[in-house]
Structure 1
Amino acid sequence: MTVKSSRLLSILLLLQTGGRMTAAQLAAELEVSLRTVYRDVEALVAAGVPLYADAGHGGGYRLLDGYRMRLTGLNSPEAEALFLSGVPGPAAALGLGAELAAARRKLRAALPSELREQADRMSSRFHLDAPGWYAPADEVPYLSQVAEAVWQGRTIEVLYRRWQEPTEVERRLDPYGLVLKAGRWYVVAGAGGKGPRTYRVDQILRLADGGAEFEVPEGFELASYWQQYQADFHARLYQGEAVVRLAPGAGARLTGVAARALETTGVPEPDGWTRAVLPVESLDHAHGAFLALGTDVEVVGPPELRDRLAATVRELALRYGAGSLSGVPYRSRRFREPEAGTLP
């Protein structure tokens, strides 16, 4: 599909879904000039599309009432992307499994045979499994009720479990939207005239209809809020730093913010090691994280972290230095490597 063809299709879809639009509105939406919009409209009329222009105040372009474009304008990547957007697991969790299946059937029936085959192939070769390996999926008994409140714009009254005292609190929430992050559901909501705030849906212990409707604050955008929330979360989480030396190849074992910090602060030293400044959550967390790197890391600072690691290493040396485990003689043995293809 050429750029012009894609643009003509976009004009049709905008008018079909949005009703009457002016040339200026179309130009702004498509990020083109007014002259380009005029030429595209002429091309559509010449192709037989029932498109009309109303003059005067409140005028603009519109399609003949009842006109609907079939989905024959989709190209192959677009059809594949539409089928990839259907994620049955989260949809079913929200109580929309049947609706999603029905929508996919209708979409598939509307596609030309060639695109239908490609969409089927893509759908059969992609599966989304959001939760991580090492923990079972959270039980979220009130997810469908929260979702229903989001769709209908109704308040909910919840008993919520949090980490600080008192651990169980009652809240009246205006649920603005739902977010699925790494297999865990969050609801972004206003509470007591304040908000938005973020709550884990699996920590809702009791839920009841709040008996009232609410309006999402003007200007609130869920995606923008979530992006900023994550940035603020990481800023609060990593408030300390550690100066470390890493052995050759040890950097490959770092992940997330630590790996990114190594890229920006790492300085090679003459002995082949790398000195870097890495963010840390707390003394306890850093202690465990650096112990996991074994002899491939040396903590230079802060002094309290280095001293704590040194004390742990001395205790481990005493524990294992006698060559026995709890009085049972230790016999060296080789550990079998996992076979290729096995799961972690």
Structure 2
Amino acid sequence: MRADRLIQVLLHLQSRPRVTAAQLAADLEVSVATARRDLEALAAAGVPVYPQPGRGGGWSLVGGSRTDLSGLTAPEARALFLLAGPGASSSDDARGALRKLVRALPATFRAEAEAAARAVVVDREAWSAAGRPRPPEVDALERAVVERRRVRIDYTGATGASSRRDVDPWGLVDKDGAWYLIAGTPRGPRTFRVSRVHALEVTDERAQVPEDLDLQAEWERVVGEVEVKRSATWATVRVAAEHVDVLRAQFGRHTVVADDAGPDGSGRVRVRVAAPTPLDVARHLAGWGAEADVVGPPEVRSELSRLGAELVAAYGGDARP
């Protein structure tokens, strides 16, 4: 651990003009005596580090000496930190490695690397079918987020209406293959589905991004609002125990197996599922036929009955095998 800590000390010295033993001890979570011994060990090993006594003193690298331990170019660093940003890994080791690496980067592109590390959130819980190709606009949007450039987009909303908007990109979210842009607008933060962006221009205007932005927290707020709308109607269904995973694939997180979910006399278990409207629930369950017994509510059973009558009217007289 000593060698690893000495590298951290060196990277710390490279990231600021002067540091005291007390500051170093606090940052590395070691004692002041340990920090001072590490600094002295670096000096004894030939690293050009020296102490400056007195008020405002501390330890510095001679002449601002730098050792680029990363060997990365600016584009490589940006790409690496985009891959290793929020949600990609939450382990302490990963976060520690990123902290060390960002201090090892040349100052000329350290800020971009730090911005890239905060640019993308990864959310593995899909809202619908995954496996989509990555939209080509993602690369340009990532760059706009990192460089804090305002973007002009032609966007088609959920209703089919198209509009042109100038927005300040705050960050991107990869939700199991579906990409979303979180951006600032004159009406406050908004979320745009990247697949609905059919024209994109990165402008030279500086984007306005909150200095205290927590992209992960902002996305969790968005998810909370969406999930409330997606779970407005709950229904209770009885299915064979081996089919619960199929229901879960259809309804995602809105699938709750009853606490007393042991198979009843028919070998079925009770499962609660949810969707925005009774019709949405019924559409998901209509294909199950008699394999799913919808206990309630009556609104969902009514929609199933109506869908069944439509199918009988359309295909009931078809005598083809």
Go from structure 1 to structure 2 and tell me whether the alpha carbon gap of 1:221 and 1:250 turns closer, same or farther (over 3 Å shift).
same
Q: Which AA in structure 1 matches 2:280? A: H
Q: Does the 8 A contact of 2:279 with 2:303 survive in 1? A: no
Q: 1:30 aligns with which of 23, 28, 32?
A: 28
Asked if structure 1 preserves the Cα contact closer than 8 Å seen for 2:153 and 2:166, the reply is: yes
In the alignment, structure 1 residue 253 sits paired with structure 2 residue 246: yes
Aligned amino acid, residue 223 of structure 1? Q
Please show how residues 82-101 of structure 1 align to structure 2 within 5 Å. Answer: none
Letter in 1 for 2:244: G
**Larger RCO (alpha carbons 8 Å, 6+ apart):** 2
* Equivalent residue for 2:189, pick from 196, 204, 208: 196
Structure 1 residues 312 and 185, CA gap change in structure 2 (3 angstroms):
closer
CA separation in 2, counterparts of 1:291 and 1:241? 15
Name the structure 2 match of 1:137. 133
Alpha-carbon distance change, 37 to 189 in structure 1, aligned in 2, over 3 angstroms: same
Deviation, 1:11, is 2.5
C-alpha deviation, 1:187, in angstroms = 2.7
Answer yes or no: is the 8 Å Cα contact 2:20–2:57 preserved in 1.
yes
Q: Say whether the 8 Å CA contact 2:257–2:272 is kept in structure 1.
A: no
Indicate the residue corresponding to 2:276 in structure 1: 281
| Cα distance in 2 for residues equivalent to 1:133 and 1:151 | 29
Give the structure 2 partner of residue 212 of structure 1. Answer: 205
Q: Does residue 327 in structure 1 map to residue 319 in structure 2? A: yes
Q: Output the TM-score relative to the length of structure 1.
A: 0.62
Q: Quick check: 1:250–1:296 contact (8 Å CA) kept in 2? A: no
Contact 2:48 2:65 in 1 (8 A): no
Residue type at the aligned position of 2:133: A
Q: Which amino acid aligns with 2:65?
A: G
Identity %: 31
Match of 2:60 among 42, 62, 68: 62
Deviations 1:273-308 (A, max 9, x none): 322333323222211222344444222111110233
Q: What corresponds to 1:15 in structure 2?
A: 13
- Runs of 5+ consecutive residues of structure 1 not aligned to the other structure: 73-81, 89-106, 108-129, 331-344
Residue 230 of structure 2 aligns with an amino acid whose one-letter code is L
Question: Is 2:141–2:169's contact at 8 Å kept on the other side of the alignment?
Answer: yes
Alignment coverage as a number of residue pairs: 271
Structure 1 56/231 Cα, relative in aligned 2: closer, same or farther at 3 Å?
A: farther
Report matched runs for 1:120-199 at 5 Å: 137=133, 140=136, 143=138, 145-164=140-159, 167-192=161-186, 194-199=187-192
Give me the whole-angstrom Cα distance separating, in 2, the residues matched to 1:213 and 1:189.
13
Q: Deviation of residue 309 (structure 1)?
A: 2.3
Contact 1:240 1:280 (C-alpha < 8 Å) held by counterparts: yes
Question: 2:238 is matched by which residue type in structure 1?
Answer: R
Show CA shifts across 1:227-264 (max 9, x none).
43333322332222112223221212233664674357
**Contact 2:257 2:270 (8 Å CA) reproduced:** no
The two structures have a TM-score, normalised by structure 2, of: 0.65
Question: Cα gap change, 1:180/1:59 in structure 2, threshold over 3 Å: closer, same or farther?
Answer: farther
**Paired residue secondary structure (2:229):** helix
Counterpart of 1:225 in structure 2 is: 218
Cα RMSD after superposing both structures = 4.1
Indicate conservation of the 8 Å contact 2:130/2:176, yes or no: no
